[in-house]
Amino acid sequence: MIRLINIHKSFRSQQVLRDLSLTIPSGQTTVIIGRSGGGKSVLLKHIMGLIRPDSGEIWIDDQEINQLKQRDLYRVRKRFGMLFQEGALFDSMSVGENVAFPIREHKKMTHLELEKAVSEKLALVGLSGIEKKMPSELSGGMRKRVALARAMALDPDIMLFDEPTTGLDPILTAAIDHLIIETQKRFQMTCVVISHDIQSVFRIAHNIVMLFEGKIIEGGTPEVFRQSTNKMVQDFLLGQYSENSV
Amino acid sequence: MITRIFFMVGRRALAFLSELGGILLMFFQSMAWTFTPPFRLRNLIKQMEFIGVKSLFIVVLTGVFSGMVLALQSYHGFRKFGGESLMGGIVALSLAREMGPVMTALMVNARAGSAIAAELGTMRVTEQIDALQMMAINPVQYLVVPRIWAGVLMLPLLTAINILVGIIGGYFVGVILLKINPGVFMDKMINMIELSDLVQGIVKSVFFGLILTLIGCYKGYNTYGGAEGVGRATTEAVVISSVCILIGTYVLTSLLF
Ligand SMILES: Nc1ncnc2c1ncn2[C@@H]1O[C@H](COP(=O)(O)OP(=O)(O)O)[C@@H](O)[C@H]1O
Ligand SMILES: [Mg+2]
């Protein structure tokens, strides 16, 4: 279970998170929705300790990650996989090297075992045999899938997705959603997904929470969420514009 | 009005101090990570190739022409009181103590310092640095340490080469074009130059190697704001490093002698 308690975070004079509290259950998919620039990526980076809060606590199971020494924090991080918004593939390395990278860093493997692990991960995202390609030669959708393969390289039990489908066409979006659902089920992972895409949100979510003005203003199962009487939530779901959402 | 000026000066000073603090912090972190395994020899060699081998051409080119112009200038200057024979010594001395280290550092800074800032800056804004951290790999150890050591190790080497080809350039202009006696040229050079002059040049180049890689890394590592941010980081890195190199050579000259 991941718990964020009373998180505050500002960048210079800009308050991004204000007294945010959130509980993310294990073994399920929780989707965070909210406006662009609303602090969703910042929230996600807090969970992994990439950004430290100005105040507040972040618990991963029974460990408060801002109390940890770097070495222990790194041990916790190995449980995480993260798919970054633009993939964040190392563009000086080939696809195969990208996927092999975390394995090579953290596991003892022979060359052959490593090659096998890499092709397995690539097969998982439906991209067998492209090890030799460079990231710059791939389409946006392929790059995201390679990034997913790399994020799963160390068999994480918590996966974080930062807008996995933004900028993809509907068919690719469905494919990525399918991938998320399948891998979540297969490995019983805890997934945290940021998304703008309402269709895709209802496809993958066990829980939905909405971030607005630095706080979680609504949360619950998709059914509960659909029934929400909160004006912001309804506006967001219907994709409509109203005075008070500006 | 007066308070406003104080306010502005104060804010500038604070910004400067926080920048300086950040650079020093990165330096100490790099030193600490240098001696923490795993040692990333492959990254180091790659950076040594990038900073060293790939700068060779430009360093040789600037070396030859510095030597040639030094020879020409000293010829015209010293002829006025019949001191042309000192040319060999003057050329070698200026190259070893000042021109060699400074020119080499400025050229490598323009080529590699900017590239370091741009590369790390791009890695920052495309979240590749976050991705490293996500994989439980310390980015300072992985990215910064090899670059700094490559700079510290390669700059003295490049500087030595620069000085050497500079002397050859000076010899060419002095002996072949201006017909100074080759024996005199070499004799004066060997008489005037001392080991301490060469040591001074090399000490400077080590310091410059550190400065230009450290500032390039710092600016790149702390980039924000997309492609525009990368451009800004690159420019700032080159300008700040160049200024530091020029101030540094004065400070070091007055400290070392
Ligand atoms: N490292 C940073 N430094 C300064 N401002 C930042 C930083 N990271 C994010 N921000 C700001 O925080 C706000 C929230 O950003 P983000 O979390 O990326 O939004 P989104 O919900 O679209 O993912 C933005 O206004 C952004 O400019
Ligand atoms: Mg975002």
Q: pLDDT averaged over chain A?
A: 90
Nearest CA in chain A to B131: A88
pLDDT of residue B11: 86
DSSP letters for A203-246? HH-SEEEEEETTEEEEEE-HHHHHT---HHHHHHHHT---GGG-
Expressed as residue numbers, the domain containing B152 is 40-256
Q: Give A204's contacts (C-beta < 8 A, 6+ positions apart).
A: A29, A31, A177, A180, A181, A184, A191, A193, A195
pLDDT reported for residue B1: 75
Structure tokens, B134: 């996500």
What pLDDT was estimated at residue A246?
A: 47
Residue ranges per domain, chain A?
Answer: 2-79+157-245, 87-155
Does a structural domain hold residue B146?
Answer: yes
> Span B247-254, mean pLDDT?
93
Neighbours of A244 (CB within 10 A): 7
Residue in B131, B136, B138 nearest the CB of A88: B131
Instruction: Mark residue A167 as left, alpha or beta (left: phi above 0; alpha: psi -120 to 50; beta: remaining).
Output: left
Residue B152 has pLDDT above 50, yes or no: yes
User: Which distant-in-sequence residues (6+ apart) come within 8 Å of B145 by Cβ?
Assistant: B30, B33, B34, B40, B43, B44
Any atom of ligand 1 within 6 Å of the Cβ of A42: yes
| Mean pLDDT (whole number) for A73-78 | 89
Q: Which ligand is nearest to the CA of A42?
A: 1
Output phi, psi for B81, to 5 deg: -125, 30
Quick check: A242 pLDDT over 70? no
C-alpha closest to that of A153 among A219, A189, A112, A106: A106
Coil/strand/helix, residue B53:
helix
Instruction: Report pLDDT for B53.
Output: 93
Q: Which residues contact A212 (CB under 8 A, 6 or more apart)?
A: A34, A35, A38, A232
Contacts of B21 (CB under 8 A, 6+ apart): none
DSSP letter, residue B84:
G
Cα-to-centroid distance, A19 and ligand 2 (Å):
19
Q: How would you classify the pairing of strands A55-60 and A207-212?
A: unpaired
Q: Is A36 in the pocket of ligand 1 (CB under 6 A)?
A: yes
Q: Which of B232, B244, B167, B240 is nearest to B207 (CA)?
A: B244
pLDDT at B76: 85
Q: Which CATH class is domain A2-79+157-245?
A: alpha beta
Q: Across chain B, what does the average pLDDT equal?
A: 92
B33 in any annotated domain: no
Q: Answer whether residue B154 shows pLDDT above 80.
A: yes
Count the domains in chain B.
1
Written as six digits, the tokens of B150 are 């490559």
